[in-house]
Structure 1
């Protein structure tokens, strides 16, 4: 690159500013160029100031055909309730018409959209709690051809009606379920009472078991004492039985002797009687003989009696022995009974202890369950005590969305202002560069680089004036601005960078540069995320997004205007300034090489008479 003559650059600058005021027509055109970009931004912002708050002029037709129904003995007409709610709704200009009027009006474009409430709407809604529920339906008609934005707005209106109906359905279902809570509460209360009563009875039974166990334990002591006495008596009986057995043996032997003696006496008596006739004997002898005969006979009788006594004694001895053996068996059985009674007592005590533990645990469990049921019943009681009207309102909207705005903006116009302000600056740069020629060094004494830097000053000044008008219009319009100094600085910087960028392209490439400027404008409208999130755009625009100057310019204006986050602002500032610097360097190099070719290209276009 040859040496630059700064005097030539100053000369070009002076010439341009002198020419700007030498002719009133030129001055008027320049003023128009300065004002036009701001109008592009401000008019669009004003048009979008509160578009979603002015929908009350959009006509939306409603045809209510609902015949109503009965729900749990109460008359229900959801269609009438919807109409009542919409009459208090100012979001749209609701028109309540017949079905035929609605269909014809939507078809002809008199209404953007309409909803037909069917005859069986309430009936179908009421059937939701029955065994055969039927889905409720609304007929939504929308004229897509009438207006692309209007149809999106009417979708919001349709959603309002749809939400109202769904909320009513939820309200009915929940109120029905709420009615069942009362029955459940009564059942829980009754069950809690029964469990508590059962626990009391079980505790009382446990006390009786414990008392009976004490009596069994006392009775066992008596049985053990009696068994000891029975055992002692049995021992005495056994000893007496032994004596009786011994006596019986002696009796048997004496009885045998008596029997033998009695037999001898009886034989002696018989001999005396056979040999002596007492009647023949003298008186003293007679009495003696008769006395011996009587004695012999008496001895026989005595012998017989003694024999019988001996036999009886033997029988007595046998019986006494059996008695002793029986007494011994009784004593043994008594001991067994006593032992069994002890085991019985131990088992009874164990049973009593187990019964006490069981009854204690069971009664405690019953009391706990009764308490839990009672608590649940009390909880349900607090719920079921709510006024059903208030509860219905709650079910109609059970959740409230608490919207917390970060960097709150008072109006939609202020929200879209960063996009339109930046866009107007790019448009202003194109208008300026098209209306004012960047100049060519061909046919002049100036070098291409001198021409580039000499002319750029006028364009930079024009961009600053355009930014000043736009900034003033933003304040007049009432656009929300969080940080005024930063906003003013950012707006001027963006306008200057854009002017340098567009001027450089056109200055270096001539008519081709103008086409490139317009193409960049088109791409940046959709590819910078100014209105719609870049994430919903096509992949092509998402790819271009980080390479477009307006991406960073919008970030600068948005942060300065709506609330600065320096971690967003500073990177965008660096990128945008870098774009400006790189553009100047590259454009100067290109103009040095391509200035002659661009001049030739422009002359050929002029020769056609079309350019």
Structure 2
């Protein structure tokens, strides 16, 4: 009898009657019920979280910020959560939320405290305080409630942090733009100051030249006065020469008086120019103060600049005082010269009067010489002071130009951002990283992600329950001394055929009833059929060798593979011993192969998967052959087993 005929005979035995046929049908559907019901229940739970009620407590009070105005962040967060629709948010009081989480009405509660907006506003006003959100969970309602709620809290916190960072960056960049504009204005003012000081330096140069001319005139005047003194001395030597000298003296004295008047007038003009220049310094200083205030220069920097300018002021004030004093002396000199001229005229008119007043004239002439010497000294001081003024204004002009250049350099180093660039830059600062998900293979839903695992489990369950009805080895074939290989194949082919039917029904229901889709449907069907017959071969071997104990070991192997196959979390997270089991048991390779086929991933590992499964089939059949050979010798345990189902 061939293996195929033995398999057909076993199949006829199993279907000989209504109840056996129904039992075979039930066995065929058990893997489908297991896999499809679980995958149906977990098809896409995340898409249905919008029906899960969560409590939202909004105690927040709007806050005022000097930088951002009114902030009502708590109400904004509540609005965004309801608009997002991830959960069925119910806005309730704090007591209702606490009670609802406790009795299971709400999966969790999110509380926005009273100071939430105030804390966020504190960062804009540079008095930072951390804003708090309170998350209330109860894992007695669901052990994933804390994990889900933490993800919601992380998402909300990240969104709020991004918004706050964006607002802070926008205000920071706006300050840059304002500083840029103010420094630009300060630079313009400093440039105008430098240009004005150029004009002032030119005026001071003119003042210095005028003072030089004054010194020259004073020197000439002093020489004339000395000559006059000598003439008076000579006039005193003899009265006879007085009349002739007086006639000559009168015109000369008048010329001297006119010259002194002109010199006095020049001195007045120089004094007026000096006084005007000194008054302009006050105006220039006031303009500088206004420009520094408008530029937003700090108080220490402004005071340093003003102190530098004031350092040049005192010498100019002293010089102006000396110029005014000298001008007054020149006026006195002009007046005295006029008197001398009048006296000379009177001397000409009356020699007798001249003789009497000659002593007075000698004394006045000496005083006049002394006054002219003082006037000369004052003019020389005026000339020196005017030079110092010109030098000081030149230094001030150089400093003002350096200030203007420095401000221009500062302005060039500060970016000038318009509103659009500020917004774009603030958004980039708040969220500097853009992520891109590149999926080499992906499942469409949570259920699709679990499908390879539960299809494999269903295949093992189908193989396990099958041997509750199917005999692993034919006693007739063993008694007839059939070849152990034929006996083993004959015992394996019938459950293998049923297992293939199980896999086809299971895939059909999962695909069209549960609506879990995948790619490479044909390859998936072939691989799952291979997985099913492999599992049948393993359970077949266990039953052929150990009978009822082997059936129990099949259940133990199922439990081991549930823990070690890596169907949910990565296998690297398993404890060390289970990682060893992971690489040994066949469900690992079944799950891995189905994943690569169903998700459209690379097929590089598929040959290894097929090789491992085929190796298990060959090894299991070899062991079954050994069991068939061993059972050719009947023992008491075969006739009456110690454990029977």
Aligned partner of 2:517 in structure 1 is 480
Aligned partner of 1:456 in structure 2 is 492
The CA RMSD measured in Å over matched residues stands at 3.4
The question of 1:148 aligning with 2:184 is answered no
1:425-574 equivalences under 5 Å are: 425-439=459-473, 441=475, 444-446=479-481, 450-477=486-513, 478-574=515-611
CA contact 2:110–2:133 (8 Å) conserved in 1: yes
Aligned partner of 1:180 in structure 2 is 175
CA contact 2:107–2:141 (8 Å) conserved in 1: yes
Aligned partner of 2:28 in structure 1 is 34
Q: Hey, what's the Cα distance between the residues in 2 that align with 1:593 and 1:450?
A: 14
Point out where structure 2 has 5 or more consecutive residues left out of the alignment: 203-397
- Report the count of equivalent residues: 442
The question of 1:136 aligning with 2:170 is answered no
Q: Hey, what's the Cα distance between the residues in 2 that align with 1:532 and 1:513?
A: 30
The question of 1:60 aligning with 2:54 is answered yes
CA contact 2:537–2:621 (8 Å) conserved in 1: yes
Q: Hey, what's the Cα distance between the residues in 2 that align with 1:8 and 1:402?
A: 60
Aligned partner of 1:49 in structure 2 is 43
What secondary structure sits across from 1:381 in the alignment? coil
C-alpha spacing 1:125/1:459, structure 2 compared with 1 (3 Å): same
Q: CA deviation at 1:488?
A: 1.9
CA contact 2:474–2:491 (8 Å) conserved in 1: no
**Higher Cα Rg: structure 1 or 2?**
1
Q: CA deviation at 1:133?
A: 2.6
CA contact 2:487–2:625 (8 Å) conserved in 1: no
Aligned partner of 1:405 in structure 2 is 439
C-alpha spacing 1:449/1:489, structure 2 compared with 1 (3 Å): closer
C-alpha spacing 1:429/1:199, structure 2 compared with 1 (3 Å): farther
Q: Hey, what's the Cα distance between the residues in 2 that align with 1:582 and 1:495?
A: 15
C-alpha spacing 1:195/1:524, structure 2 compared with 1 (3 Å): farther
Aligned partner of 2:256 in structure 1 is none
Q: Hey, what's the Cα distance between the residues in 2 that align with 1:39 and 1:434?
A: 18
C-alpha spacing 1:508/1:117, structure 2 compared with 1 (3 Å): same
The question of 1:417 aligning with 2:451 is answered yes
1:348-427 equivalences under 5 Å are: 373-377=410-414, 379-382=415-418, 384=419, 386=421, 399-427=433-461
C-alpha spacing 1:584/1:604, structure 2 compared with 1 (3 Å): closer
Q: CA deviation at 1:438?
A: 1.4
CA contact 2:61–2:72 (8 Å) conserved in 1: yes
TM superposition score normalised by structure 1: 0.65
Q: CA deviation at 1:393?
A: 6.9
Aligned partner of 2:73 in structure 1 is 78
Q: Hey, what's the Cα distance between the residues in 2 that align with 1:459 and 1:40?
A: 19
Q: CA deviation at 1:149?
A: 2.9
Q: Hey, what's the Cα distance between the residues in 2 that align with 1:82 and 1:153?
A: 18
TM superposition score normalised by structure 2: 0.62
CA contact 1:511–1:602 (8 Å) conserved in 2: no
What secondary structure sits across from 2:15 in the alignment? helix
Q: Hey, what's the Cα distance between the residues in 2 that align with 1:602 and 1:178?
A: 92
Q: CA deviation at 1:518?
A: 0.8
**Range 397-406 or range 486-495, more displaced:** 397-406
- Superposed CA offset, 1:21-79 (max 9, x none): 32111111101111111221122222222111110011110111112211116111211
CA contact 2:61–2:114 (8 Å) conserved in 1: yes
What secondary structure sits across from 1:583 in the alignment? helix
Q: CA deviation at 1:515?
A: 1.7
1:281-296 equivalences under 5 Å are: none
Aligned partner of 1:331 in structure 2 is none
The question of 1:19 aligning with 2:13 is answered yes
Point out where structure 1 has 5 or more consecutive residues left out of the alignment: 1-6, 209-358
C-alpha spacing 1:567/1:42, structure 2 compared with 1 (3 Å): same
Q: Hey, what's the Cα distance between the residues in 1 that align with 2:409 and 2:470?
A: 89
Aligned partner of 1:355 in structure 2 is none
The question of 1:121 aligning with 2:155 is answered no
CA contact 2:473–2:628 (8 Å) conserved in 1: no
- Superposed CA offset, 1:527-585 (max 9, x none): 11112111222223222111110111112211222114121212222222122112211
